[in-house]
Amino acid sequence: MGLAKRIIPCLDVTAGRVVKGVQFVELRDAGDPVEIAKRYDDQGADELTFLDITASSDERDIILHIIEEVAAQVFIPLTVGGGVRVVEDVRRLLNAGADKVSINTSAVVNPQLVRDASDRYGNQCIVVAIDAKRVAGPEPKWEVFTHGGRKATGLDAMAWAKQMQAYGAGEILLTSMDRDGAKIGFDLELTRAISDAVEVPVIASGGVGNLQHLVDGVKIGGADAVLAASIFHFGEYTVRQAKEYMAQHGIEMRL
Amino acid sequence: MPDVAVIDYGMGNLHSVAKAIEHVAPKAEVAVTGDPAVIARAGRVVFPGQGAARDCMAEIERRGLREVIVEASRTKPFLGICMGLQVLFDHSEEGDTPCLRLLPGRVLRFPDAAMHDDKGKRLKVPHMGWNNVHRMMEHPMWAGIDDGARFYFVHSYYVEPATPDVVAGVSHYPFAFTCAVARDNLFAVQFHPEKSQAAGLRLLGNFITWEGK
């Protein structure tokens, strides 16, 4: 009994469709976002995350309509990220029905945005997304990347996570770029390092290929929540199967 | 005259509350409003809220809503959610903020020293996610909801009522804390029924039919 670990299906959305890439490229169509959101809600998803991966800003408003439609039918927490640049973007997403807003590139470009958004709307709704890539060397070390993984920042992921917590991030969405789409499991060392470094919840992301990977993310990585896309989108597993598997392995789940 | 007024004082995502109520009560007229006159005429009132206690109280005062909130909390079915629970009490540790003093007690931050489980593993703050809610009294608002049902929480502060008789529900993180209170026509919860799927929708449905006593 107590707080359950969370499973969060992630929907990458562009031009009104859910897609899934491998290491941030090679997009494959996975379906209609509203239908997929309803399906995962029926299967017992604990939250849903939408990442707007639209490249051009003139298509940006499509996600607002999708969120409005989902929020009218699905009554679990919704996180939305992608293209959030100013506090006004946060406000518009919250008004459309998002419960949390995820900030990635803009947090690096303008860390004050995290502070301002958190001061205005509370840290419970500000998620900072960190895309991290392992740096070769004797010590375990990861570098933060932005712009959908295309741009190196020189920032150390652990120090950055701590700084973002200090700026008002209420949660960290941690993606291993090395593992994203590779289906070989989370980078557990990275997950553990960040989870131990901050006191806010950490969502592990990037690399899930089977249900044991989810268990490992929580038990070995110390994640408070696990995020996955491909294993759910393409019908390999249902969210419910994943939750039952985790519960069978001694993890507190909402079943 | 709206059936339900959701009080808008500029703090947080009120539309999800309104949408959830519309979902369980499609015939009800639901108004998201900061107009004291509309709130005063509504059949029942939902008092949500997110963000920091000091900002919430400041906005309530700035918009001249204190009086109508106090009046509604005494006269009609009244549902507080999250910050709308916390500011009902005397005082919040968050920003050292005097609150509405409708219920005796205070609002405290989850203390760092206590935040570990029985295996010594550190527990994160905010308390974020789905936790069990154990009822401490029979109440029409709990109708059709299992004792121990999970609801969605996200908060770093919790209420500590001075009078145990108002405690309607508790959760554990890692100690027992009050997550629901009830007195007369007032019911208030720390968790988010509008984001708690079937159990949450049932609670909101119960509110729509509750007579307030």
Cα distance from B93 to chain A (closest Cα, Å)?
16
DSSP β-bridge partners for residue B157:
B109
pLDDT tens column, A169-210:
999 999 999 998 889 999 999 999 999 999 999 999 999 999
Judge whether residue A23 has pLDDT over 60.
Answer: no
What is the reported pLDDT for B205?
Answer: 97
Please compute the mean of the pLDDT values over residues B21-31 and round it to a whole number. 95
Residues of B in contact with A202 (CB under 8 A): 124
If 0-12 CB within 10 Å is exposed, 13-18 middle and 19+ buried, where does residue B209 land?
exposed
d(CA A8, CA A44): 10
Decide if B192 is catalytic: yes
Query: Is the CA virtual torsion B164, B166, B168, B174 positive or negative?
Result: negative
**What ipTM was assigned to the predicted interfaces of this complex?**
0.94
Least confident of A113-127, B60-74, B88-102, B178-192: A113-127
Query: Per the CB < 8 Å rule, is B195 touching A76?
Result: yes
Is the per-residue pLDDT at A27 higher than 80? no
pLDDT in tens, A34-45: 999 999 999 999
Nearest CA-CA partner of A127 in A173, A182, A78: A173
Lowest-pLDDT choice from B91-105, B112-126, B131-145, B166-180: B112-126
Assess whether A216 carries a catalytic annotation: no
> In terms of CA atoms, which chain A residue is nearest residue B26?
A72
How far does the CA of residue A151 sit from the closest CA of chain B (Å)?
A: 31
A120 in Cβ contact with A132 (< 8 Å): no
Give the orientation angle of helix A157-167 with respect to helix A188-197, to 10 degrees.
40
Mean pLDDT of chain A: 93
Cβ of residue A209 closer than 8 Å to a chain B Cβ: no
Give yes or no for residue B186 having a pLDDT over 60.
yes
Between chains, do B50 and A121 touch, taking CB under 8 Å as contact?
yes
Amino acid B15: pLDDT = 81
Residue B108, number of CB atoms within 10 A of its CB? 16
The three-state DSSP-derived secondary structure of B177-198 is: EEEEEEECCEEEECCCHHHCHH
Largest CA distance in chain A: 51
Catalytic: which of B99, B138, B192, B211?
A: B192
